[in-house]
Chain A
């Protein structure tokens, strides 16, 4: 007899749209974020199609600028920032700490609606002449462009609140709603990383909000803060913008790192190596993320002394990131590794994130940055970290928790096929861009010199392979929803965290009885001993 789960009760569209259940809000987010990911991907494929040849007559330069701006704005603000915290975090965080819900369920629902309203405003900008400034909205161009910069920034401004709401909710939940026995150092590492992420969301997002307000005021009233003619300073905009947006890339990557910290011990059947080092490195990354934003302005006329300081601080971020990578590889050492789909994504993460992270050091070093600044090298670095890192973490987590969320298992063969296609397509798309950047191809132009053509064609082919891989992936996950639910065990991966002790999918109140935590999340030996 199938027990009733949060998916079945209560029924009806209204019960979903007004739900206060964190698990249902996670699914609402999953649907919305997936739609925007699809939109962002379409723009990505358009970009690569245009760049398959120089002077492509397919679109105008202006349209190209609008397309890459939309790709960036949608992927950053509507996909990768909310994705892992709002989907996987919302679903798993209360379950992992043995709580019935997040601390403020109504705020949680408000967060989803704010996200939807913000995203619709951004979409509306399509109608009124989409912004062509790039997702960074740099002044002075953004204060003069004829496109609808105000609408787009307003949309980002609104969507920012949803991020703050999620952050506030998670911090309060972690502090106040942990199950009996769940001490700070018995929390799963995904919870630690979400906690660090939330700190950044709460501290940095308001500065983005005020930046966008200043930009809107500059356009409406001409207050002149970013206009040297009126006593302002355009580089100041970059300071304001990156004070949020650099920490924001850690909002994107930290939750993915948390997912990886869950996957590796489960599928290597080993207790995680250096638990507290990983936990503290999350906090260290959150702390350092606020000290490095100036490395985006090495060639923008920033004072040399400031650049030296920012460069030095930037290198410090490599330390906690390195601590994580080494601890994960140390966990794999002598482990009994099973290549299930979640683990395949985790291993892909290790490989791709290492490349992304190391190329980041090229960019953080003052001299080499001058050579590759604003070239495709930056584009490739960013995509290796964000897609190769954050996105692979998200996909790994989605495959890991999918049976818990929906109570159904996907086809192992097809999901591994998708993973291989994604991996090949991703590298084929972005590795050539490192070379293009080194050779001097600037980013954000609709055309290029003829000598860059072969590598650009390679990159475009890769983008289509990646696209096919993602279609297979989505189809494979959706097809699983047609399968029967009964056959699945509560804990198909033999994981040790609390969410696997309840039924799949969980009941509305999460746990039948209040769980009491006795051992750490990765103590597999104790767990086996307990069971026998």
Chain B
């Protein structure tokens, strides 16, 4: 029988590891709920994220076996997280820095912009004296 030979490949983790990690996750949940009741200002977010990351790490390392498995999977996982970080951080570089150098001039936003309706699309093709505005701009 190949059963035992097969079992030796890939670690079989003792069941008490799962129970202990599960208990740790439940305790961390209790802690994060308790800490959130104390007003710490901006630090509440920081603490909550640190605890969440600790929990997520436990799930990844033990439940998802990253601690025991091929390092390749850990690498894949880290690359994905890094990609996500790049996306969020570089976008924040834009959204948090608007108008730093050249002030933004805000104009009121009209609630209903005029867009050419499907049925009267033909109107745009009527030649006018000013051909540069041949496309039907929203307002004239």
A and B touch in the complex (CB under 8 A): yes
Taking a contact as CB atoms closer than 8 A, the residue among B113, B135, B136 that contacts A144 in the complex is: B113
28 sampled A-B residue pairs with Cβ under 8 A:
A54-B134, A55-B127, A61-B116, A61-B136, A141-B115, A144-B115, A146-B115, A147-B118, A203-B80, A228-B109, A229-B109, A229-B111, A236-B91, A236-B95, A243-B87, A290-B83, A290-B87, A293-B90, A303-B96, A304-B100, A305-B100, A306-B90, A306-B97, A309-B90, A446-B125, A447-B134, A449-B131, A449-B132
For residue A301, CB closer than 8 A to chain B, the reply is: yes
Interface residues in B22-45 by Cβ distance below 8 A to A read: none
Question: Are B83 and A309 touching (Cβ within 8 A)?
Answer: no
Once bound together, how far apart are the Cα atoms of A203 and B93, in whole Å?
Answer: 21
Question: Are A60 and B90 touching (Cβ within 8 A)?
Answer: no
For residue B14, CB closer than 8 A to chain A, the reply is: no
Given contacts A61-B124, A290-B83, A291-B90, contact A301 B136 (CB under 8 A): no
Once bound together, how far apart are the Cα atoms of A207 and B86, in whole Å?
Answer: 13
Once bound together, how far apart are the Cα atoms of A239 and B96, in whole Å?
Answer: 14
For residue A469, CB closer than 8 A to chain B, the reply is: no
Q: Which of A140, A302, A449, A450 has the most CB of B within 10 A?
A: A302
Q: Mark A184-207, 1 if CB is under 8 A from B, else 0.
A: 000000000000000000010001
Once bound together, how far apart are the Cα atoms of A243 and B111, in whole Å?
Answer: 29
B90 contacts across to A, CB distance below 8 A: 291, 293-294, 306, 309-310
Once bound together, how far apart are the Cα atoms of A157 and B100, in whole Å?
Answer: 36
For residue B79, CB closer than 8 A to chain A, the reply is: yes
Given contacts A203-B80, A229-B111, contact A303 B98 (CB under 8 A): yes
Q: Mark B67-110, 1 if CB is under 8 A from A, else 0.
A: 00000100000011001001100110111111111101000010
B113 contacts across to A, CB distance below 8 A: 140, 144
Interface size on A, residues (CB 8 A): 42
Once bound together, how far apart are the Cα atoms of A422 and B125, in whole Å?
Answer: 33
10 interchain residue pairs of minimum CB distance: A62-B121, A61-B124, A303-B97, A306-B94, A304-B101, A447-B134, A306-B93, A60-B121, A239-B91, A303-B94
Identify the B interface with A (CB < 8 A).
Answer: 72, 79-80, 83, 86-87, 90-91, 93-102, 104, 109, 111, 113, 115-118, 121-122, 124-125, 127, 131-132, 134-136
**A473 nearest CB across to chain B (Å):** 36
A61 contacts across to B, CB distance below 8 A: 116, 121, 124-125, 134-136
Identify the A interface with B (CB < 8 A).
Answer: 54-55, 57, 60-63, 129, 140-141, 144-147, 175, 203, 207, 228-229, 233, 235-236, 239, 243, 290-291, 293-294, 297, 301-306, 309-310, 445-447, 449-450
B104 contacts across to A, CB distance below 8 A: 301
Taking a contact as CB atoms closer than 8 A, the residue among B72, B87, B135 that contacts A175 in the complex is: B72
Chain A: which residue is nearest B117 at the CB level?
A146
Once bound together, how far apart are the Cα atoms of A98 and B128, in whole Å?
Answer: 66
Taking a contact as CB atoms closer than 8 A, the residue among A57, A62, A301 that contacts B118 in the complex is: A62
B125 contacts across to A, CB distance below 8 A: 55, 57, 60-61, 446
Chain A: which residue is nearest B136 at the CB level?
A61
Once bound together, how far apart are the Cα atoms of A297 and B102, in whole Å?
Answer: 16
Chain A: which residue is nearest B118 at the CB level?
A146
Taking a contact as CB atoms closer than 8 A, the residue among A62, A129, A203, A239 that contacts B94 in the complex is: A239
In the complex, number of A-B residue pairs with CB atoms less than 8 Å apart: 98
Once bound together, how far apart are the Cα atoms of A235 and B97, in whole Å?
Answer: 13
Given contacts A302-B94, A449-B132, contact A203 B83 (CB under 8 A): yes
Once bound together, how far apart are the Cα atoms of A61 and B125, in whole Å?
Answer: 6
Q: Which of B93, B100, B101 has the most CB of A within 10 A?
A: B93
Once bound together, how far apart are the Cα atoms of A129 and B90, in whole Å?
Answer: 37
Once bound together, how far apart are the Cα atoms of A423 and B115, in whole Å?
Answer: 40
A239 contacts across to B, CB distance below 8 A: 91, 94
Chain A: which residue is nearest B83 at the CB level?
A203
Taking a contact as CB atoms closer than 8 A, the residue among A63, A141, A228, A445 that contacts B121 in the complex is: A63
Once bound together, how far apart are the Cα atoms of A145 and B134, in whole Å?
Answer: 19
**A230 nearest CB across to chain B (Å):** 10
Once bound together, how far apart are the Cα atoms of A450 and B135, in whole Å?
Answer: 15
Taking a contact as CB atoms closer than 8 A, the residue among B87, B93, B115 that contacts A207 in the complex is: B87
Chain A: which residue is nearest B70 at the CB level?
A175
A175 contacts across to B, CB distance below 8 A: 72
Once bound together, how far apart are the Cα atoms of A431 and B100, in whole Å?
Answer: 39
B86 contacts across to A, CB distance below 8 A: 290-291
Once bound together, how far apart are the Cα atoms of A175 and B127, in whole Å?
Answer: 61
Question: Are A305 and B101 touching (Cβ within 8 A)?
Answer: yes
Chain B: which residue is nearest A144 at the CB level?
B115
Once bound together, how far apart are the Cα atoms of A147 and B96, in whole Å?
Answer: 34
Chain A: which residue is nearest B96 at the CB level?
A303
Question: Are A305 and B93 touching (Cβ within 8 A)?
Answer: yes
**B99 nearest CB across to chain A (Å):** 7
